[in-house]
Structure 1
């Protein structure tokens, strides 16, 4: 089976350009796409939550996945490498048009995959190193890192819902019931009411 995969990140973009590129390529190579998979979703979204993830799960040995370029598979090198590794393990070929890659289970593909993997590892280590250096520099400058000991976050799961909670309290709705309505534990509601200046006068409501 030959699958054509096309992805755009926003509704303002169109998948037709990618479809045209893949179609033109297949005509040149005398290939026919058996099934098209198109989606409008960010490339940073977990692949298992995308149509691409469902496609990879059903593809079989010898199938070919064609897309306009590797960046259509994901927006970072680690994600792309993970996808390519899965395809190679299942003997699925990945062809890209702009990048001109023909990735399969052959030795050249494995060498290329190794190069990608090495690049990804280097990139990850560089990011980690830059982060450590930045933190060390701030510490040396006397900047206090992290939240002060004993302090609490200014926001909670219920921040911004004061008006709704007040309306429920005014109707004598219990903290337990409010918790069920808002999807949090009653203790979270009780603590929020106690600490909120807007709601503290309702503390007497039974929980």
Structure 2
């Protein structure tokens, strides 16, 4: 059972020293650190610590924003840790601590709220799409060719002109002309 630490700052101008000192004082034996923006999903050191930990280990961070950018990110990471049998603890947000029953309860409630919110968003989005369709809104990318251009291109194709020449004249890819029916 090893206690791991994860420290992150967003830019090279910031220092990791305060976080490292706090993590060491909290008992972290192995600390992974990086200087990278939290919005960057590709964080090499975070991936390394996640792979290094095993059942019974604990991951600690000084603050939640060092680990995740959003509550959804946090819940996904905590879920991933939980699935691996790893505990999680934030030093500043004492409620975010899966090493005790109270912290697990709070994170479970938050996960339930996030799931409920996600379902509401999906439902509202679906209703909005239905209203838009009823009003005649067309979804998807705009057509590269107008109705008239499509008919003209088909006529030129039936007349024997090459697909590539037709495509070049409309400044579109030849596969678009080939797909016209």
Measured against the shorter chain, the TM-score band is 0.5 to 0.7
Give 1:182's aligned residue. none
Among 42, 53, 57, the residue aligned to 2:51: 57
Question: What is the TM-score normalised by the length of structure 2?
Answer: 0.63
Residue 143 (1) aligns with residue 137 (2): yes
Deviation at residue 147 of structure 1 after TM alignment: 4.1
Q: Aligned-residue CA RMSD in angstroms?
A: 3.5
Residue 103 (1) aligns with residue 98 (2): yes
Question: What is the TM-score normalised by the length of structure 1?
Answer: 0.56
Cα pair distance change 1:24/1:109, threshold 3 Å: closer
What are the equivalent positions in structure 2 for 1:1-207 lying under 5 Å apart?
A: 1-9=2-10, 11=11, 14-16=14-16, 19-21=17-19, 23-24=21-22, 26-27=24-25, 29=26, 31-43=27-39, 45=41, 50-100=44-94, 101-104=96-99, 106-147=100-141, 151-152=143-144, 195-197=167-169
**For structure 2, which runs of at least 5 residues remain unmatched after alignment?**
146-162, 173-181
Cα pair distance change 1:110/1:39, threshold 3 Å: same
Give 2:156's aligned residue. none
Q: Is the 8 A contact 2:7 2:19 kept in 1?
A: no
Q: Is the 8 A contact 1:59 1:92 kept in 2?
A: yes
Deviation at residue 25 of structure 1 after TM alignment: 6.2
Give structure 1 regions of 4+ aligned residues with deviation exceeding 6 angstroms: 191-194
Task: Tell me the distance in 1 between the aligned counterparts of 2:164 and 2:88.
Answer: 52
**For structure 1, which runs of at least 5 residues remain unmatched after alignment?**
154-190, 201-207
Q: Counterpart of 1:66 in 2: which secondary structure?
A: strand
Give 2:154's aligned residue. none
Task: Tell me the distance in 2 between the aligned counterparts of 1:41 and 1:82.
Answer: 18
Task: Tell me the distance in 2 between the aligned counterparts of 1:133 and 1:7.
Answer: 41
Cα pair distance change 1:61/1:125, threshold 3 Å: same
**Matched residues, number:** 153
Cα pair distance change 1:14/1:197, threshold 3 Å: farther
Q: Is the 8 A contact 1:3 1:64 kept in 2?
A: yes
